[in-house]
């Protein structure tokens, strides 16, 4: 078995909403494609960002889009996923329409809890099984999953099917999916978080739920959007910042220009310098906050971790995804086992 997590067949990327799951998933997919692996970047019911990430003109929707060499993407939805699953089971579109598009059948399908989620994760699993002329179509499927609470519900569905549904096509596929997810030689689960209070708490809680409820373990922790350490303790830069802060009075005012002019209406220091000082002070405070929670994440997780920097750009495009991808790639190489 390869020790590189990028060589897995199925890579699940999950985490709290707003932590940058799609950015990390796109960066991972770019890395696997660069390694020569035929990669599918998969998501569902999402506002497409992949087109802009990879500088592509066509929005990614239910139909697959080629983003670059060895990399395609799809942004499916439950209706499209259910249709594809129905065609896999029933083989012929005419039979599918007779069964799944029947008015009575549609009524009962809508009443089945979790069917939409199962159609999504089932479609992702199906792509790991797809073959053409006896060879896999995709070497790696990177699943950009929904937010952690929704992900947990989605991942639980095949277990519920095995416990409650009589033996048949559904249980057969659910058993294969559970086997795939629990096999560390084929699947890695990448947990994305921020070094901040709420994302850290949710990452710890989510990892515990995965272990306790589903016997799944996260393979790697990605700490995203880490502020640069521009004013390390004891450095000349930190000393200069402290002296500048001391010369900006009325620190209770949020506006650096107001603070600079608080002394009788005349600036104590140049207003532009005051503005830069305020920005630098904020950056130093954000870095201190990050360091506090980086320590907690290190204490809470024994799995490999990597950090991605916060990129100060208006929006992420191909250059930024390439930068993040190359920062992630070496971190996914696990040390060889004895």
Report the sign of the C-alpha dihedral through residues 243, 259, 227, 194, in that order. Answer: positive
- pLDDT confidence bin for 88, thresholds 50/70/90: low
* Rounded-to-integer distance, Cα 206 and Cα 335, Å: 26
Q: What is the pLDDT of residue 94?
A: 52
Distances (CA, A) of 157 to 22, 93, 303, 308: 23, 26, 26, 32
| Nearest Cα residue to 41 out of 18, 13, 17 | 13
* pLDDT reading at 111 higher than 90: no
- pLDDT confidence bin for 275, thresholds 50/70/90: confident
Asked if 161 and 28 count as a contact pair (C-beta separation under 8 A), the reply is no
Asked if 177 and 124 count as a contact pair (C-beta separation under 8 A), the reply is no
Alpha helices (H) in 142-196, listed in sequence order: 148-164, 169-181
Percent of the chain with pLDDT over 90: 57
Better pLDDT: 35 or 95: 35
Looking up tokens 């060879």 gives: 135
Task: Return the top range by mean pLDDT from 135-144, 167-176, 285-294.
Answer: 135-144
Q: What is the pLDDT of residue 97?
A: 53
Query: For 147-161, what is each residue's pLDDT tens digit?
Result: 999 999 999 989 988
State whether CATH 3.50.50.60 applies to domain 5-227+310-331.
Answer: no
* Across 9-30, average pLDDT: 97
Token pair recorded at residue 301: 């997780």
Token pair recorded at residue 123: 């479609």
Q: What is the pLDDT of residue 1?
A: 54
Q: What is the pLDDT of residue 116?
A: 82
Query: For 221-268, what is each residue's pLDDT tens digit?
Result: 999 999 998 877 778 877 777 777 776 654 444 555 454 455 455 445
Q: What is the pLDDT of residue 247?
A: 66
Asked if 235 and 228 count as a contact pair (C-beta separation under 8 A), the reply is no
Query: For 207-234, what is each residue's pLDDT tens digit?
Result: 999 999 999 999 999 999 999 988 777 7
Provide the residue ranges of all domains of the chain, joining segments of one domain with +.
5-227+310-331, 230-302
Asked if 149 and 14 count as a contact pair (C-beta separation under 8 A), the reply is no
Strand pairing category for 220-226 and 71-76: unpaired
User: What is the DSSP code (8-state) at residue 7?
Assistant: G
Q: Is 295 exposed, middle or buried (CB count within 10 Å of its CB: 0-12, 13-18, 19+)? A: exposed
| Nearest Cα residue to 155 out of 10, 17, 45 | 10
Name every residue whose Cβ is closer than 8 Å to that of residue 319 and which is 6 or more positions away in sequence: none
Q: What is the pLDDT of residue 332?
A: 87
Task: Return the top range by mean pLDDT from 1-5, 125-129, 189-193.
Answer: 189-193
Q: Is 79 exposed, middle or buried (CB count within 10 Å of its CB: 0-12, 13-18, 19+)? A: exposed
* Rounded-to-integer distance, Cα 209 and Cα 102, Å: 39
Q: What is the pLDDT of residue 251?
A: 47
- Count Cα atoms within 13 angstroms, Cβ side, for 246: 6
* Across 6-17, average pLDDT: 96
Residue 226's Cα: distance from chain center in Å? Answer: 15
* Across 82-102, average pLDDT: 55
Q: What is the pLDDT of residue 102?
A: 52
* pLDDT reading at 201 higher than 80: yes
* pLDDT reading at 77 higher than 70: yes
Q: What is the pLDDT of residue 233?
A: 78
| Nearest Cα residue to 155 out of 232, 218, 248 | 218
* Rounded-to-integer distance, Cα 334 and Cα 227, Å: 25
Long-range contacts made by residues 66-73, C-beta under 8 angstroms, separation at least 24?
Answer: 67/41, 68/30, 68/33, 69/33, 70/32, 70/33, 70/34, 70/36, 70/37, 70/38, 70/39, 71/29, 71/30, 71/33, 71/39, 71/41, 72/39, 72/40, 72/41, 73/29, 73/40, 73/41, 73/42, 73/43
Token pair recorded at residue 13: 């990327």
* Rounded-to-integer distance, Cα 310 and Cα 18, Å: 13
* Across 262-275, average pLDDT: 60
């Amino acid at each position: 078995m390869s020790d590189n997590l990028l060589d897995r067949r199925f890579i699940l990327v999950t985490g709290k909403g707003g932590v940058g799951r799609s950015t990390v998933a796109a960066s991972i997919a770019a890395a696997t494609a660069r390694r020569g692996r035929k990669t599918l970047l998969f998501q569902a019911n999402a506002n497409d960002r992949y087109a802009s990430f990879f500088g592509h003109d066509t929005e990614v929707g239910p139909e697959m889009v080629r983003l670059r060499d060895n990399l395609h993407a799809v942004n499916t939805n439950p209706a499209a996923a259910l249709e594809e699953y129905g065609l896999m089971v029933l083989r012929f579109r005419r039979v599918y329409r007779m069964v799944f598009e029947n008015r009575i059948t549609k009524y009962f399908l809508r009443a089945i809890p979790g069917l939409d989620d199962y159609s999504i994760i089932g479609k992702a699993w199906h792509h790991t099984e797809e073959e053409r002329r006896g060879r896999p179509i995709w070497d790696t499927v990177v699943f950009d999953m929904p937010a952690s609470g929704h992900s947990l519900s989605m991942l639980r569905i095949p277990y519920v099917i095995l416990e409650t549904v009589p033996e048949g096509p559904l249980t057969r596929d659910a058993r294969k999916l559970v086997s795939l997810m629990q096999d560390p030689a084929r699947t890695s689960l990448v947990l994305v978080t921020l070094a901040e209070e709420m994302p850290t708490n949710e990452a710890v809680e989510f990892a515990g739920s995965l272990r306790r409820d589903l016997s799944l373990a996260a393979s790697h922790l990605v700490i995203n959007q880490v502020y640069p350490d521009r004013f390390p303790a004891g450095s000349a830069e930190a000393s200069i910042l402290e002296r500048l802060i001391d010369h900006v009075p009325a620190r209770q005012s949020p506006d650096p220009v107001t603070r600079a002019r608080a002394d009788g209406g005349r600036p104590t220091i140049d207003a532009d310098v005051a503005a830069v000082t305020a920005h630098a002070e904020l950056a130093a405070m954000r870095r201190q906050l990050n360091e506090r929670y980086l320590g907690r994440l290190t204490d809470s997780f024994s799995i490999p971790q990597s950090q991605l920097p916060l990129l100060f750009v208006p929006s992420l495009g191909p250059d930024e995804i390439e930068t993040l991808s190359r920062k992630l790639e070496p971190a996914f190489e696990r040390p060889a086992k004895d």
